[in-house]
């Protein structure tokens, strides 16, 4: 009886191998990399540089899908609600992960550090404070004097209330005691077009987005937000070189996260592939040319970075009284 039962079970397993063992990740289907902002923006640029190479590493198709809206939170919620099977990735920045839940806790019920698993970073980049070409201030020091001489008169644009760009601009305002009016837009490219056209005075935007406009003289760059000058804009000072912004150092990461409860083996496999990809000279050159600096943080180190970032951002958001609810 025992022998006959074993024989039947073995025959069934051979006849139906699909039920015997599921294909190892990521063999079953293409992987979706969800980008929370529009095509052509700085985050999208980084995704389209790195995701094809990640696909080669994983030996599986990786499809970039732009899910736009609500400062990236629609994309965040899409990933959080996805199956935790490794086939839906979040190619993210801090806006939807750490910023939005702080700014609008009654609207965005998720916790980016609890409902998402940090996998690995890909790169980092500072922002640039830029102004319309006709603004009567040649450098950051003169700009500070101009703003202080006309409190509440000048405005600045960002890609929305409570985004990483908005919070960085508020940090600058707080550091130098500046009084300016925030003008929120739906996307970074829209802001860039408006400041180049003179419709708004100033903007805080990513290096990857503005560097071509700066080189062509379409906007005036007052400084990058990193502590040191940036390689792709060597003639643009760091804002930290100006007395009013001494010590200022803000950089934005881009990286991959997965839905909570994703199998640890999948998280580790993906982190290894990302780290290998970012270490490759060709990937580093492409990222550098686009205005990014390769950044490698994974697992607990990435999680600790996000926790500290949220703590720092919470203080700025509270001081600026940024609230959407």
Q: What tokens were used for 276? A: 């290998």
Residue 15 scores a pLDDT above 60: no
**Contact assessment for residue 220 and residue 228, using Cβ atoms and an 8 Å cutoff:** no
pLDDT in tens, 78-97: 999 999 999 999 999 999 99
Residue 137 scores a pLDDT above 60: yes
pLDDT in tens, 143-159: 999 999 999 999 999 98
Q: In which band, very low, low, confident or very high, does the pLDDT at 324 lie, cut at 50, 70 and 90? A: confident
Residue 6 scores a pLDDT above 50: no
List of residues 6+ apart from 308 with CB closer than 8 A: none
Residue 197 scores a pLDDT above 50: yes
Q: Which listed CATH number (3.40.190.150, 3.30.530.20, 3.30.110.40, 2.40.50.100) goes with 29-125+251-320?
A: 3.40.190.150
Helix (H, G, I), strand (E, B) or coil at 274: helix
Q: In which band, very low, low, confident or very high, does the pLDDT at 5 lie, cut at 50, 70 and 90? A: very low
Q: Residue 59: left if φ>0, alpha if ψ -120 to 50, beta else—which one?
A: left
Burial of 229 (0-12, 13-18, 19+ CB in 10 A): middle
Q: Give me the pLDDT at residue 302, please.
A: 97
Strand partners, 238: 224
pLDDT in tens, 244-280: 999 999 999 999 999 999 999 999 999 999 999 999 9
pLDDT in tens, 165-193: 999 999 999 999 999 999 999 888 999 99
Residue 163 scores a pLDDT above 70: yes
The segment with the largest mean pLDDT, out of 11-20, 156-165, 234-243, is: 234-243
Q: Give me the pLDDT at residue 22, please.
A: 58
Q: Give me the pLDDT at residue 70, please.
A: 87
- The dotted CATH code for 126-245 is 3.40.190.10
Percent over 90 (pLDDT), the chain: 82
CATH 3.40.190.10 placement within the chain: 126-245
Mean pLDDT score across all residues of the chain = 92
Task: Calculate the alpha carbon distances from 71 to 75, 94, 99, 185 in Å.
Answer: 9, 10, 10, 10
CATH 3.40.190.150 placement within the chain: 29-125+251-320
Q: Roughly what angle, to the nearest 10 degrees, separates helices 264-279 and 42-58?
A: 110
Strand partners, 294: 123
Residue 4 scores a pLDDT above 60: no
145, 148, 152, 155: CA torsion to nearest 10: 30
Q: Which residue has the tokens 């499809």?
A: 63
Q: Do you know the residue count of the chain?
A: 325
Mean pLDDT of 212-238: 97
Q: Give me the pLDDT at residue 41, please.
A: 86
Task: Calculate the alpha carbon distances from 177 to 51, 143, 164, 203, 228 in Å.
Answer: 41, 13, 20, 17, 22
């Amino acid at each position: 009886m025992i022998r006959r039962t074993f024989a039947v079970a073995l025959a069934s397993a051979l006849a139906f191998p699909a039920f015997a063992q599921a294909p190892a990740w990521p063999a079953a289907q293409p992987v979706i990399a969800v980008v929370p902002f529009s095509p052509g923006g700085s985050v999208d640029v980084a995704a389209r540089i790195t995701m094809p190479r990640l696909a080669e590493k994983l030996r599986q198709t990786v499809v970039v899908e732009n899910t736009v809206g609500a400062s990236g939170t629609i994309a965040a919620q899409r990933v959080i609600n996805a199956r935790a099977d490794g086939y839906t990735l979040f190619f993210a920045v801090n806006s939807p992960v750490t910023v939005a839940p702080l700014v609008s806790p009654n609207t965005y019920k998720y916790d980016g550090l609890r409902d998402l698993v940090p996998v690995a970073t890909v790169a980092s980049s500072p922002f640039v404070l830029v102004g319309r070409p006709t603004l009567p201030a040649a450098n950051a020091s003169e700009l500070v004097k101009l703003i202080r001489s006309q409190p509440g008169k000048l405005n600045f644009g960002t890609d929305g209330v409570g985004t990483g760009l908005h919070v960085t601009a508020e940090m600058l305002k707080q550091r130098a005691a500046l009084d300016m009016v925030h003008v929120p837009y739906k996307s970074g490219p829209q802001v860039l077009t408006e400041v180049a056209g003179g419709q708004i005075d100033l903007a805080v935007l990513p290096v990857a987005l503005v560097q071509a406009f700066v080189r062509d003289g379409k906007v005036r760059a007052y400084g990058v937000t990193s502590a040191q000058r940036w390689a792709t804009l060597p003639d643009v000072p760091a804002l930290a070189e100006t007395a009013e912004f001494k010590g200022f150092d803000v950089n934005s990461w881009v990286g991959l996260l997965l839905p909570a409860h994703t199998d640890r083996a999948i998280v580790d496999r993906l982190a290894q592939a990302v780290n290998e990809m970012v270490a490759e000279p060709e990937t580093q050159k492409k990222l550098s040319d686009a205005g990014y600096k390769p950044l490698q943080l994974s697992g607990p180190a990435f999680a600790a970075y996000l926790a500290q970032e949220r703590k720092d951002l919470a203080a700025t958001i509270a001081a600026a009284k940024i609230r959407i609810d």
